[in-house]
Chains A and B, each alone.
Chain A
Amino acid sequence: MDKQIHQIYHVARCGSTLMTSLLSTVYQAYSEPSWSASFLLGIDPYKNMESFYGSVVKFPSLTSCFETNFPGNKVFLYRPLAQHLCKIKSVDPLWIENRLRKTDYILKKYNHPAINWIPKDKLDRVTYVWLCSVFRMLDSSNVLWITTNSFLEDKKETLKLVCNHFNIPEVTDFSLCDVNVKKSGLNGKDIPVIDTFYQSKDIEYTFPSYGLIETKMALYDPDIQRRVEEIENLFPQLKDYLY
């Protein structure tokens, strides 16, 4: 068996479940299986990975904050910081609270050495996680970087790149493109994503450009503009990833 995992890392709420779902039409793909959260639970992540060799695995977003050495090629799906903050400011506050608890753990035990900055409030902590993910991915190798907008604007072309990077068959079935995958309960299951789809009774469709966020729109929020400018001043090397 191929002792590799085709890995998808991401910054959360950025289209990674949709990408995994589309890949699942041609290949065995899992979306945040229980084992993949090992880092966050303090469990040896390499202990249970054998059964996932040869598959595509989308990891929980916070996993990208850790130094990972799983064998295989990686995709990093991300929104530039301005777009990311705009998206996160619009999601359910309970989801953010739950995420922030885990953020403290990363900050205390797994801070990336390039980040010499202490977040002051909730949105700063969201920014911190984004920074951590970007720095870890910059450290990593065999990573295909994809922005959410480029994926959502041209899903076919992006999936072609991803399949080529993973050396798996090309996706040809794009009928899931406009499905609101977040409402289909795909994450956290230990069975392939496509099997969960087959078990779903109701599939909700959304509008085709769902998920696209323009940087210009995000920067109309003065709070976001201020924070992104602050990060640009602190980490000028990340300028290309911010807007």
Chain B
Amino acid sequence: MNIQLLDNPFPHVLIENFYNEKELSLIQEEIKFLSYPNKLYKPGVHHAGTEGLTESRALHLEKAYTIPELSNILQVTKKTLDIPFISTIVNKWPQLLRIKYVDMIITKVRYYHNNEGYEPHTDIKHEFLTFSYFHTIPKKFSGGELYFPEYNYQIECSHNTFILFPGYVQHGVKKVLIEDSAYWNGDGRYCISQFMAVKNSDKYG
């Protein structure tokens, strides 16, 4: 795991090799299961995304699983709120204190195939966003970078990379380009997104 807490161009955490071998295996098992036809939804269906901004398909996991323990991904992504990790973020950036009180997370698995990206937008309803990226090795597509147009900044989104940043930061995904690959082969870019919010802040004074 290679962790970086970066101040510029905005506070964000970037981690390469975020999940360990066992965690990756659990994630990939579920991604494979979700990659069969009709398990990921087009934008506008079952909270899968905003029509007009993307053509990529997604699944909102908390809606799909009434028992979260049944989802490997919902179990393993608890790692993003591991307390020492969150404490370190707050100790470095006191202005991000509210991340300690996150009590609502929406988790989505999103798949980008050929010619699919996400137009720039903000997720201002959510205070923090995390994205983890997965793809086949070797990588069979180009593009798919996460970019931040207001800052002229982008990250490559290589396999098992994780990023966390505040929800007010505008971001988009550059179009993925794949040659000669059927959609359900899953040769494109997978992203596990977490949208984090503090729903009940009254109890924290």
**Chain A residues near B (Cβ < 8 Å):** 86-87, 89-91, 153, 205-210, 212-214, 216-218, 220-224
Contact = CB atoms under 8 A, between A and B. Distances in A.
A91 B20 CA distance: 24
A14 B35 CA distance: 38
B83 A207 contact: no
Contacts of A218: 84, 88
Contact of B75 (A86, A87, A207): A207
Chain B residues touching A, range: 20 to 34
23 contacts: A86-B87, A86-B88, A89-B87, A89-B91, A90-B84, A90-B86, A91-B83, A205-B69, A206-B75, A207-B76, A207-B78, A208-B20, A209-B20, A209-B79, A212-B20, A214-B3, A217-B3, A220-B88, A220-B91, A220-B92, A221-B91, A221-B92, A224-B91
B14 interface: no
A91 B86 CA distance: 12
Contacts of A205: 69, 75
B125 interface: no
Contacts of A91: 83
A209 B76 CA distance: 9
Contacts of A90: 83-84, 86-87
Given A205-B69, A208-B20, A208-B22, A217 B82 contact: no
Contacts of A209: 19-20, 22-23, 79
A220 B76 CA distance: 24
A23 B59 CA distance: 41
Contacts of B3: 214, 216-217, 220
Contact of A213 (B22, B26, B75, B84): B84
Interface string B72-97: 00011111001111111001100000
B198 interface: no
Interface in B30-46: none
B84 A220 contact: no
Contacts of B176: none
A206 to B, nearest CB: 7
Chain B CB within 10 Å, residue with most, of A153, A217, A221: A217
A221 B75 contact: no
Given A205-B75, A217-B3, A221-B91, A210 B82 contact: yes
A222 B88 CA distance: 10
B1 interface: yes
B23 A221 contact: no
Interface in B1-59: 1-3, 5, 19-20, 22-23, 26
Nearest to B89: A220
Contacts of B83: 90-91
Contacts of B69: 205
A232 to B, nearest CB: 20
A86 B84 CA distance: 6
Chain B CB within 10 Å, residue with most, of A86, A205, A210: A86
B88 to A, nearest CB: 5
Contacts of A221: 87-88, 91-92
Given A221-B87, A222-B92, A223-B91, 6 more contacts: A89-B91, A208-B23, A217-B85, A220-B91, A221-B88, A224-B91
Nearest to B18: A209
A151 B53 CA distance: 46
A207 B1 CA distance: 16
Contacts of A206: 75, 78
Contacts of B22: 208-209
A216 B83 CA distance: 16
Given A213-B84, A214-B1, A217-B85, A207 B79 contact: yes
Nearest to A218: B88
Contact of B88 (A153, A207, A208, A217): A217
Contacts of B84: 86-87, 89-90, 213, 217-218
